[in-house]
Amino acid sequence: MAEVVPVREGILVEDAEGGRLLGNKCKCCGQLFFPKARFCFTCFNKDMEEAVLSRYGRLYSYTIAHMPSTHFQPPYAIGFVDLPEGVRVFAPLKMTEGKPFKVGMDMEVVIEKLWQEDDKQVIGYKFKPV
Amino acid sequence: MREVAVIGIGQSVFGKLPQKTVAELGSEAVAAALADADISAKDIQVAYASRQYNAWCTAQDILKEVGIRNIEMVNVENTCAGGSTAFRGVWKEIADGHYDVGIAIGVESMTTSPIAGKMITPEKDDLDGHLGMSMPGMFAMVARRQMEQHGATVEDFAQVSVKNHRHGCLNPQAQYKKEFTVEEVLNSRMICEPITLLMCCPNTDGAAAAILCSTDVARKYTTTPIRVLASTLLSGDYKEFQKDITVSPLLEKISKMAYEMAGCGPEDMDLVEMHDAFANEEMLRYEDLGLCKRGEGVALLRSGATEIGGRIPVNPSGGLLSLGHPLSASGIRTICEIVLHLRDEAGARQTPNAKVGLAHMHGGVVAGLEHGIVAGIHILAR
């Protein structure tokens, strides 16, 4: 069986309902980052703590691409989702029958296989309309 | 600090020219600039060259073709703002008094570059790039926000392309001298909704060069030196601090710097040449550069003010959309265009009685940073 690896170490956690994204937070000023930052870009503090991000967010913008990208064949959707804690996440979007994308719509994170890399299955995150 | 002027400009042919080497493209522009300034190659004391792809010793390689050697030469890369960076490099050398005369060159052979006919492959650590982010994708998402926040329509985006292609028809050096209708732009191949092929700048080979000189020495060479009122170059912030993707925090900062340095404001500009890599980008920059208030870019476009003959022509050259975008050349090519208008030598696309013009160049996508991470603005006056 192919080895399963995350698209980046420490970027997501799987749970009973699917999974959540992991960012981090500056212990000094509270600034949140996704993906995790090595230090706080606001106050340069290095003392950071992991933050489990919200499962749901709102679609800030999106596009359906009709050109191939490194790992996706067209058409595929990408977008920015704003999470309630103030983090904007760029992610592939899942196109759902009967739920066309609309700015401001509620979105939910899903953890799934994104692509195959040699003998490894790369898993990552997408957002889908709720 | 000494005042610096542009005394010579030159440009190569722009187009898909894989048969031409970088030295050929670059020296075509350099020779044209030397002839324009009516100056000997021997008078050039310092050179900066910019190139993005497969670059090494670009200045030396180009300048050997015209006999320039044994001087200080610097090669720089700064994505689309590379040309602006080279120009500013020479400007600083002269303003600071190290030299009196220098040349700035921008060159790109896109058709022979490693990205020719391909997508730009993301770096291993570029998470967003691997997840499907691309330049057209980014600008498409910005376009969606422009529609949402500012009431822009796909017809508006198409109109920018229509305008700049119409302008390009008046420019003998444009890659595409062809007019399109709004319908033709909208019906061209979909790239990333709502961005269609004719809303994207083409891949282009080409070079541009400018000869700079301290204003006091410039009188020796020309009666029409074009003064550099402002030379600015700046990099942006982390993506976390760009709350609204229709606003460039970087451009807000650098345009303020440029206007302060020039001692004038956006209302004083007679024309603007800017980075219109994607049609919708031009409307963002109207606002970022202060040509209109925030949120009024759509109205400015619809008013016709940014067309040739309008209140503030934008990209009278045809812009990147019709002229093409040899990345590192564009930052100097835009300055050349401003100089032509200020000298009253722009022919059919001349901005009447142009006294002050602004050249903007902007680019660079780096994972984790605001999109369009480096920008250069130059303000010139006759």
pLDDT tens-place string over residues B292-336: 999 999 999 999 999 999 999 999 999 999 999 999 999 999 999
Residues B243 and B161 in one domain: yes
Let me know if residue B121 belongs to a domain.
no
Residues B179 and B322 in one domain: yes
Residues of A in contact with B190 (CB under 8 A): 66
Known catalytic residue at B275: no
Residues 6+ apart with CB under 8 A from B149: B244, B246, B295
The DSSP H or E segment spanning B94 is helix B82-95
Residues B157 and B277 in one domain: yes
Quick one: CA dihedral B110, B111, B116, B117, positive or negative? positive
- Single pTM value for the model: 0.96
Residues B64 and B85 in one domain: yes
pLDDT for res B113: 85
Residues B105 and B136 in one domain: no
Known catalytic residue at B80: yes
Query: A66, B240: Cβ pair inside 8 Å?
Result: no
d(CA B266, CA B271) in angstroms, rounded, equals 10
Let me know if residue B125 belongs to a domain.
no
Residues B58 and B19 in one domain: yes
Let me know if residue B374 belongs to a domain.
yes
Q: What percent of chain A has pLDDT above 70?
A: 99
d(CA B105, CA B142) in angstroms, rounded, equals 32
Residues of B in contact with A91 (CB under 8 A): 131
* Tally of domains within chain A: 1
The domain that holds B81 is classified in CATH as 3.40.47.10
d(CA B345, CA B308) in angstroms, rounded, equals 15
Residues B57 and B151 in one domain: no
Interface test with A, best of B138, B240, B278, B371 (most A CBs within 10 A): B240
* Tally of domains within chain B: 2
* Average pLDDT of every residue of chain A: 95
Let me know if residue B153 belongs to a domain.
yes
Chain A residues whose C-beta is within 8 A of a chain B C-beta are 7-8, 11, 31, 33, 35, 41, 60-72, 76, 78-80, 88, 90-92, 103, 114, 124
Residues B153 and B97 in one domain: no
Q: Using the predicted structure, report yes or no on whether residue B114 has a pLDDT greater than 90.
A: no
Residue B242 to chain A, least CA–CA distance (Å): 10
Let me know if residue B117 belongs to a domain.
no
More confidently predicted of B177 and A89: A89
Quickly count: other Cβ atoms within 10 Å of residue B312's Cβ.
20
Q: Using the predicted structure, report yes or no on whether residue A117 has a pLDDT greater than 90.
A: no
Residues B32 and B156 in one domain: no
Query: B145, A67: Cβ pair inside 8 Å?
Result: no
Quick one: CA dihedral B146, B148, B149, B151, positive or negative? positive
Residues B367 and B356 in one domain: yes
Where does the pLDDT of residue A1 fall: very low under 50, low under 70, confident under 90, or very high at 90 and above? low
Residues B301 and B160 in one domain: yes
**Which domain, by its residues, includes B343?**
131-198+230-381
Distances (CA, A) of B2 to B92, B116, B222, B236: 9, 42, 18, 28
Residue A90 to chain B, least CA–CA distance (Å): 7
Given B275, B325, B362, B378, which residue is catalytic? Answer: B325
Do residues A75 and A63 touch, judged by C-beta distance below 8 A? no
Query: A124, B131: Cβ pair inside 8 Å?
Result: yes
Phi-psi region of A51 (alpha: psi -120 to 50; beta: other; left: phi over 0): beta
**Which domain, by its residues, includes A121?**
3-129
pLDDT in tens, A70-83: 999 999 999 999 99
Query: B145, A114: Cβ pair inside 8 Å?
Result: no
Let me know if residue B145 belongs to a domain.
yes
